[in-house]
Amino acid sequence: MAPTMRDVQLTAAGDGAFEEVRLLDAYDEEDSDKLNGNLRRIQVRVSGMTCAACSNSVEQALMGVNGVFRASVALLQNKADVVFDPNLVKDEEIKIAIEDAGFKAEVLEEPSASCTSQHGTVLGQFTIGGMTCAACVNSVEGILRKLPGVRKAVVALATSLGEVEYDPSIISKDDIVNAVEDAGFEASFVQSSEQDKIVLGVVGVSAEMDTQLLEGILSKLHGVKQFYFDRISRELEVVFDPEVLGSRSLVDGIEGGSGGKFKLLVKNPYTRIASGDLEESSSMFRLFTASLSLSVPLFLMRVVCPHIPLLYALLLWQCGPFLVGDWLKWALVTIVQFVIGKRFYVAAGRALRNGSTNMDVLVAVGTTACYVYSVYALLYGAISGFWSPTYFETSAMLITFVLLGKYLETLAKGKTSDAIKKLVELTPATATLLVKDKGGRIIGQREIDASLIQPGDILKVLPGAKVPVDGVVVWGSSHANESIVTGESVPVLKEVNSVVIGGTINLHGSLHIQATKVGSNTVLSQIISLVETAQMSKAPIQKFADYIASIFVPTVVTLSLFTFLGWYVAGLLGGYPEEWLPENGNYFVFALMFAISVVVIACPCALGLATPTAVMVATGVGASNGVLIKGGDALERAQKIKYVIFDKTGTLTQGKATVTTVKVFTEMNRGELLTLVASAEASSEHPLAKAILEYSRHFHFFDEPCDTKESQSNSEQAKFSGWLHDVSNFSALPGKGVQCFIEGKWILVGNRKLITENGITIPSNAESFVVEMEESARTGILVARDNTIVGAIGIADPLKREAAVVVEGLLKMGVKPVMVTGDNWRTARAVAKEVGIHDVRAEVLPAGKAEVIRSFQKGGNVVAMVGDGINDSPALAAADIGMAIGAGTDIAIEAAEYVLMRSNLEDVITAIDLSRRTFSRIRWNYVFAMAYNVIAIPVAAGVFFPLTKLKLPPWVAGACMAMSSVSVVCSSLLLKRYKKPRLTAILEITVE
């Protein structure tokens, strides 16, 4: 089953919801199947542990108990997570086992039931800093998943974000942050699915008295659980009870309690993340410029100064045991190595402490080797008088190039999240709230932060302003530009009872709207969440890259060691002439430079960026083109699509069925027939039923049908409900029609199958009418009353104008289109003929659509399903790739991996083409990531030196390593230039 989203309305036409899509849903629950039997899981608080040896002792003691299935001990949280068979061991025996090992134990009263169920868990998002490659990601994920109370955890290198699903009754946000920081990384909480925390910027706090006043106000506010005010950033974090205190009431309470002294601004979590990215980029730039400013003098002393006699004489001046030049080199490089380059030692130590190796380990090893050898050469020369060459410049230049690569990488990665930033900018910062008295009259208005809008608020939207939240028009008339959501530039009429979407633009008249969905429930917020989650997701191809990266560093270190030993031993044994050695050099230095170059060039950093950066850009580009993609897994499967299966009604057709013909076969007049049929169909949600109801209402009241779905609202139906008959025992029969009793008479309205199954004979004139409808691609509906056919209705559902061209385009792309419908064979064949589909499956019940898809999946074929209705959701879930029409039902959208927001079939081609382009780019990324290594490692190791005398100095190796990451990210950024394929190009049509 595909991941789902909660409470999402993708177009103004849909007022429903679909569940939230989460990155974590793609991962299996570790012990869910095992715990479905007789096993239990409990949490035990363990006291007295002081180190890792203690936790190991507790684990061993627990695993030694008969009946314990699994035991995991967290030293930092002083807790043990135990899975056991209650038939073999009791809670008390587990406690005794821990105490016998020399520790205190207490079984927690509430077991972590949430670890085996989604109920009671919270999804939290955290920023994680200090990660440099896939090995770091694996370390952080491993740390998080071992924490008690954490159900699932996924970390993304490209976004520096982590999503953690946890039980707040067992572990808190702060515990998670502390665990990550204890492992040597940086962490901070961003937001969670709990609506109990708000971050506010406070203006007006300038002295200690102001801080005390703020704390006093918060302490007195009922519903405030805890708060923290950062005096440096002027940010206030408040945790409150949402059932007692609303966010706007909280802000009003603080501002009112201060007498207007304080002004509060709600901090958008996405804005905070963007500012964090900017801060990281700025910090990396400062480090790079500092390293460069110290490395340039080293380069000048080596290359330029020997050609300037006065300066060179000064550098050769003896100062103590060393020359002035040597002192300067040592001083400058020491600052670069241990002050500017401190981050590499910290990160390397962190990685080694967590049992992994990463890029920082390689950089630390390579630069340290250069620095230590150079210091040793100076000391050895001072003592023995034999001066060997030093390589201080190599160490400094290496760190400089690595920092340059990291800086360019942060810039490039920042650009990949442009889609989210642009979506965030669409939401207005403030809104005009209309204040009403108890009688409902407007008595005033005030500006409020858009983040503080509550459901039910009445808001004023001026011409040219953005709609602040999702809502319903209660006064006024205007047109709205909804292109940000639907992709259609044509303005949409907005009248009373019309649905409006937050972030869209009110073009003309003023509107008063009533807020219905706010905060994370708005369409725009859910789209942002969906895009962000998709950007964090991992495609299956990335798992292989992560595995390679995890073993790459140890392999490179081993290769470097063999390189050193090979050249050094060969030199001692006379394997190559001394002329190859540098001036005043020796075999040790000669071999060491080859080894250092191998260590530096073979960095797996680019390998870890190859897939996620491309997925990030592709999901953002897709959102900009009206195609929402739910993750890298969907992208990878979509590029292999062999068959595309289309639903008919609402997918290939416009879904706006209209009655074209009404035939009466008895003495009943047309008005009576339409009243009878409309009464029977009034309780049905089928598009054909709504078409009949609309036509009947127009027939009786000369009411012009409206194109907007608002006209079909409950209020409109209630307005004309007086002319409908009372209905009893109503039931809808999928794929057939409806049946009910009206005034004691049995009524059937449906297709030929419904009539014949109930033993009613269809007269020849009625049969001829239905056949005529079906052969002209229309649907014939029969009406029976007490076993007698009394009339028939012909309904047409026009094809979408792009349907035939899209089908032909898919054939040109090597994808085979198929149509599956519950309609009869004649109508199905007529529609298929019009659009050019040759493979048709008709009279298929909703449950049967999934079976049709499975039949096409045989042999490993990748099958996509395009649908919009509730009955399509099983098929969308069964397909390898589900593509939901954006204006379709919410259940269909839940089950799909792609959402075509514009409800345009051309986006099916866009989705497939973008997937293919993305994975073509990913393959190129792996070429860029590995080419430097494959080509440069042999050169760095000196394989070609005996023939070409070609060497790769360590500082050049550092430059190549940095460029590999930059090449990968820039390659991914080329996807931002993606243009939707023109159908004329696909069809090879020459337009005059």
Q: Which letter, b or e, does each residue of 662-685 get, where b requires 16 or more Cβ atoms within 10 Å of its Cβ?
A: bbbbeebeeeebbbbbbbbbbebe
Three-class secondary structure of residue 24 per DSSP: helix
Q: Where are the alpha helices (DSSP H) in 801-944?
A: 803-812, 825-835, 846-857, 873-878, 890-895, 906-940
Q: Which of 647, 797, 872, 913 is catalytic?
A: 647
Residues in a beta bridge with 613: none
What's 888's DSSP letter?
S
Amino acid at 60: Q
Of the candidates 791, 790, 690, the residue with the CA atom closest to the CA atom of residue 780: 791
Distance CA 974, CA 266 (A): 35
Distance CA 606, CA 969 (A): 8
Q: Which two tokens stand for residue 307?
A: 């050609």
**Contact status, residue 819 vs residue 837, Cβ threshold 8 Å:** yes
The separation between the first and the last C-alpha atoms of the chain, rounded to the nearest angstrom, is 47
Of the candidates 96, 117, 114, 115, the residue with the CA atom closest to the CA atom of residue 106: 96
Distance CA 283, CA 410 (A): 10
Cβ count near 768 (within 10 Å): 12
Of the candidates 731, 733, 738, 736, the residue with the CA atom closest to the CA atom of residue 678: 738
Distance CA 177, CA 393 (A): 39
Is 241 annotated as catalytic?
no
Q: Which two tokens stand for residue 35?
A: 């715990």
C-alpha distances (whole Å) from 969 to each of 231, 358, 565, 933 are: 38, 19, 36, 17
Q: Where are the alpha helices (DSSP H) in 107-172?
A: 134-145
**Contact status, residue 384 vs residue 941, Cβ threshold 8 Å:** no
Q: Which two tokens stand for residue 202?
A: 């406070």
Distance CA 752, CA 648 (A): 19
**Contact status, residue 746 vs residue 734, Cβ threshold 8 Å:** no
**3-state helix/strand/coil string of 185-203:** CEEEEEEECCCCEEEEEEE
**Contact status, residue 650 vs residue 925, Cβ threshold 8 Å:** no
Using DSSP bridges, classify how beta strands 641-647 and 816-820 pair: parallel, antiparallel or unpaired. parallel
Residues assigned a catalytic role: 647
